[in-house]
Amino acid sequence: MLYILRLSTGDCIIVEAQEESTARDLAAAYRLEAGESVVSIRPLPRFAARFSPNDSASLDVNSWDDATLDDILAHEYPLLNQAFRQANSVGLMEAASVSPEALNQLKEAHEKNLEIIRKGLRMELERSTGETVEKQKATRS
C-alpha cells in the first residue's frame, strides 16, 4: 500500500509499505533533517507520475497525475489548495488591445494571484510547525 507522510517542515514523503509503522520506519530511513518529524500519515489512494531521463544521467519528474496532485493538495496542504482556488477564481482581465497600461494591469493581477498562493504556502508551513516561516529560516541558517 502507498502511504503519504506529511513532515513538520511541510514536505511529504510517499512510501510503499505493508503497514503504517513500516511506512514510518522507511520515512525515518530517508534521512529526516534535524528536528523534522512525521506529523501525519495516511494511505494514498492513487499515485501516478511520469519520469524522463535527462542529460545529467538522472531522471526528472515530468508530470503528475492530476487526481494524485489534487488529492495531495486537498489532504496534506488544504490551506495552499484554498489559496490556489482563490487565486484561480479571480479573473485577470478581458481581452483587449495590448497597451502598456493593459500589460501593467495584467502584471499586477498576476502578482496579486502569486501573493495569494505564497500566503497559502506560508500558512501551510506555519500550520505544520507552529512557528513562523521567518523563524524557521533563521533556525536552518
What Cα–Cα distance (Å) separates residue 45 from each residue in 4, 118, 139?
10, 28, 35
Per-residue pLDDT of the chain (141 residues; tens, 9 = 90+): 999 999 988 889 999 999 999 999 998 888 888 888 899 999 999 999 898 888 888 888 888 888 988 999 999 999 988 988 888 776 655 555 667 777 787 788 888 888 888 888 888 878 777 766 555 455 544
Q: Are 51 and 61 in contact (CB under 8 A)?
A: yes
Q: What are phi and psi of 72, to 5 degrees?
A: -65, -45
Output the DSSP codes for 111-140.
HHHHHHHHHHHHHHHHHHHSS-HHHHHHHH
Q: Is the pTM for the entire model greater than 0.75?
A: no
Measured CA to CA, the distance from residue 98 to residue 12 in angstroms comes to: 42
